[in-house]
Amino acid sequence: MKAAVLKQFNAPLSIEDIPEPMVEPGWALVRVKACGLCGTDLKISSGAMPNVKIPVVPGHEIAGEVLKVGEGVTNIAPGDQVVVYTYVTCGRCRECQEGWDNLCANLGGILGSTLNGGDAEIVKAPAANLIPITPQISFEQAAILADAIATPYHALRRRAKVEAGQTIVIVGVGGLGLHAVQIASALGLHVLAVDVEQSHLDMAVKLGAEFAINSAVGDPLEAIFKATGKRGVDVVLELSGYPEAARNALSFLLPRGRMVLVGYHATQPFEVSSKTMVSKELEICASRFCTRQDLVEVIEWVDAGKVNPIIQETMPLSQINQAYQKLKSGKVLGRLVIQI
């Protein structure tokens, strides 16, 4: 089968024929139709993720059609159209049992990171990780549900503890952020978007942000005060992953405000003033990826028209290296999706 293989860090992917995976009991093979491209793919290909061993097939936003199922599989059947949850979880630990499968204590790997992923004609996944999509959702849209939509959904629904009427600043309106804007608006929040790329901000406004703040051309704190008429906001959703941005974003918060970290830097810490934290009773929490249940719910949200998947462009597998270059440029609006 054709696959894009990461054989060397900081080098183009190699498009080649590799053996098809063998189906095992409890697992299934999926004929991949679409796979989204994420900023994490750039981290993986640069060698910044210490757990990733090469060679590996990247791609963790996967949608396709079930091709074959292993022994004992009853939840899905060949021909089913599915989106793939990419964390291989144990199903038995405390986190799995309580529905926090994104935090599984016995994580068996991540498709597209430590295990082969979706930038290939076929991917092997646990059957329990395949979630049926509805016919209204295309494979391209379904692919990006798996991370670009479900990750900000998890952050806003499970971690941010937001209430309608509150004000949120979303820092970074790229692939995740443009969906975060829509989810936050649907939850009744007043949304302010911060980014350094004007085209991203213009799109954020079209999708429901009330104010767009370009932090490359002015002081975002001043702009936030001006926009809100108050000295801050209730919640910050930090998606950029830049330590400096996270540090600055703490100053956007009103007393008792909460910052939710989704973006992260693989190695660099960010500085926090304990005095600021204590004097304003601030909270910092973090949000990792999404759960299976989040994925089920975002399918309903997309069906209901509450979130519209933003796809700038689809490209064939043969052009995946050009797609990586485009994403690196920082200009992509929403997601690029590889069609396979």
Contact residues for Zn ion (CB under 5 A)?
A: 38, 40, 89-90, 93, 96, 104, 147
Q: Which residues contact 122 (CB under 8 A, 6 or more apart)?
A: 1, 20, 21, 29, 30, 31, 32, 67
Q: CB 68 → Zn ion: shortest distance, Å? A: 26
Smaller CB separation from Zn ion, 128 or 224: 128
Q: CB 172 → Zn ion: shortest distance, Å? A: 13
Smaller CB separation from Zn ion, 146 or 224: 146
Q: CB 40 → Zn ion: shortest distance, Å? A: 4
Distances, alpha carbon 148 to alpha carbons 21, 142, 216, 280, 326, in Å? 27, 10, 24, 32, 17
Smaller CB separation from Zn ion, 64 or 175: 175
Q: CB 46 → Zn ion: shortest distance, Å? A: 14
Q: Which residues contact 181 (CB under 8 A, 6 or more apart)?
A: 170, 173, 191, 193, 204, 207, 208, 209
Smaller CB separation from Zn ion, 3 or 150: 150
Smaller CB separation from Zn ion, 147 or 197: 147
Q: CB 39 → Zn ion: shortest distance, Å? A: 7
Smaller CB separation from Zn ion, 69 or 96: 96
Q: CB 239 → Zn ion: shortest distance, Å? A: 11
Smaller CB separation from Zn ion, 147 or 238: 147
Q: CB 41 → Zn ion: shortest distance, Å? A: 7
Q: CB 110 → Zn ion: shortest distance, Å? A: 10
Smaller CB separation from Zn ion, 190 or 292: 292
d(CA 9, CA 43): 10
Nearest to 337 by CA among 319, 328, 329, 197: 319
